[in-house]
Structure 1
Amino acid sequence: MDYQDSLEFAQHKDQIDSLKDFRDQFHIPELNGKASIYFTGNSLGLQPKTTAKYVNEELEGWATLGVEGHFHSNKRPWFEYHKFSKETLSKIMGANPSEVVSMNSLTTNLHLLLISFYRPTKERYKIIMEAGAFPSDQYAVESQIKLHGFDYEDALIEVHPKEGKNTLDIDDINSAIDEAGDSLALVLFGAVQYYTGQFFPIKEITEATHKVGAIAGFDLAHAAGNVPLSLHDDEVDFAAWCTYKYLNSGPGGISGIFVHDKHGLNPDTPRLAGWWGHDESSRFKMEKGFKPMPGADGWQTSNVNIMSSAINLAALEIFDKAGMEALRKKSIELTGFLEFLLKKLEGIRIITPENPAERGCQLSLEAKKNGKAAFNQLTEAGVVADWREPNAIRVAPVPLYNTFSEVYRFYDILKQAVPNE
């Protein structure tokens, strides 16, 4: 696309944006008495204005119906609440409705899934991750390896970028998988790397993993609602995500899981059982003997967190109206415009891949000097971005509520903070 270095160009793009009205459906935080340039939806998404309505409806149901709200709510009976998000989630994840369910929190879900899919033997016990994976993933994997009695340093394989590069090539990943071979039990990657913003090739990683007889799983924390996913067709074995980033479902919002039907529809797939994962037709008989619900629902342990799920439904309603295809199209243009402008700044280096297919909304920037000072200047000027040690400013123009004009204003502010040498 032909971009122009002007505010007028940005304003024109905003005028013809088919998604422009969605911005008005969100609360925009203020800094210094003015609407902020909120570029940190990759850390915490903004609150939809319908959130209070959804939550208040459940509060009213609790107040007027008490326990009967489980079955007799006028709008959404609590007993079936986990079902109400399935259709939209299946579109976002590229999955069958039976393969997805909202539940728990992200790291809890990773542990539940690892119990099912990390089944090490004396010969096949190793796990591959990207080097510098998000700490929760690192800690979860470390504890699972030790739980099974293996040495962490021996069992974990971290894939590092080539010398002088910040991101991984697919051959880096494939080589590690091939080299591990029959010793490999599991590959667990963050689909979008939190620090660099790299979107990993899920299909290729899964194929390479299955070729050596291992299981492929993904943490979708920075991918869900950000990049196109086709988990079912890509034959991914399992995945988990949070909803408080691009899915705009509130701090600590409810998580979700994907379990491919080839596993989820098999009642003999091992798992940690809880009563909400038990066959719903006999759940309240309180009998011994766990009979799992088919699909991802069989991994539920406790009954649904209704308030957090209500927030999630408010956000998913917006995604249903906007559609991931339109969001992705705008995201590529919005992030591309940001990249075009930032390349004019000699004091900034972009470490996120240039290829739009290898990234989502986020660009990770490194200042050649005084990065933290530049970040502080951005904050003082009304920009909400994200600093990550040792030297990254993470910027995420989200297509649902960010504008081309904001991208240009951000560039204008950053130009003052990191002048060309």
Structure 2
Amino acid sequence: MLDLKWIRENPDALDAALARRNAEPVSTRLLALDAERRKIQTDLQDLQARRNAAAKEIGKAKSSGENADALIREMAELKSGAQNLEATERTLQADLDAALAVLPNILSDEVPDGATEDENVELRLVGDIPSFDFTPKEHYELGDALGLMDFETAATLSGSRFVVTSGGIARLERALAAFMIDVHTLEKGYLEVSPPVMVRGASLFGTGQLPKFEEDLYKTGEEQYLIPTAEVPLTNLVRESILEESALPMRFTAHTLCFRSEAGSAGKDTAGMLRQHQFAKVEMVSITTPQQSEAEHDRMTACAEDILKRLGLAYRVVLLCSGDTGFGARKTYDLEVWLPGQNSYREISSCSICGDFQARRMKARYRPEGEKGNHFVHTLNGSGLAVGRTLIAVMENYQQADGSIKIPDVLVPYMGGVTEIRAK
């Protein structure tokens, strides 16, 4: 949520920021709603002052035996007028809140202008792309040949964009998640959390998925939704809180299932498990002061990169352009891992700094040491990593000529000493 006071003082800056995201200007409408609402509030204050004065006049009239009928009639009219004004104010406030709720975050000045992902900026390439003396296969071809990845059975169970894995591949996916969580908690200072995977709409509003992106969510009842990412419950751990500055930064991580309807992705990545309705992800969330957040963004990105480095996977880091940066983010780094089967880099992690955008929606604040008043915290989130996509990357990068999969050294202890996956 953007600061309305800032919008009043910088309407042109708001419209310019929206233009960077290829969105229409809204400052004129917002300021008109705000001005009307504030006028109603002033009228209400004036009316209430008159009601208070009239009440005193009625008391004096009655005590002196004078006729107060006219004043009593005026009081009734004032009460009715106040009720009408209050109803109008509620409507205007609701309209203003609804308009503010769908405004995206203000982008950082570092974010390059651009309309699509083609205009993202590559920051660095890391690792060596593997060479093969055979034509590398895609993950789903490998999984099918091994008899350990079944999309047809999944389709009969649940429909398209689901998979059933088994044996060594199922164990490898579990090993990857355990490895990631261990690195983040034992070495990087994140607190492991096991959150609910169903949340109320208020939590999704807090992190920015609602109301704008409801079509991407799975609703399970009147109030609850399946989470699209553990960012939602982890960030909302501090909602409606006032934290001590000494407690910051707070760092959380979780391995959860995630659920997305993939609305608007028809025809994209229909083969394999790159884009699923249900998938596993290890998420990182940080809660910081404004002064800490930029450094924390770099730190979080480095934590995600370290997983890829330890797995021996080649990747690149890109800075997303204005048209590709997510709704709630000020700036985002994407990590894209090399997939030999596709002969291309594909996203495996996004690490975003959100500033106080989510904090305003959640009412999450902190108390600065030695200062009066409270300030909004800054929030950050990142994948550390998407487990299913990491599974794909390991399968494709560690495939062997006979179709077997070599296990990266760091995962062998998590695989019970197994060093490769072969057909059943």
Q: TM-score, normalised by structure 2?
A: 0.21
Q: Compute the TM-score of the two structures, normalised by the length of structure 1.
A: 0.22
Instruction: Tell which structure's C-alpha radius of gyration is larger.
Output: 2
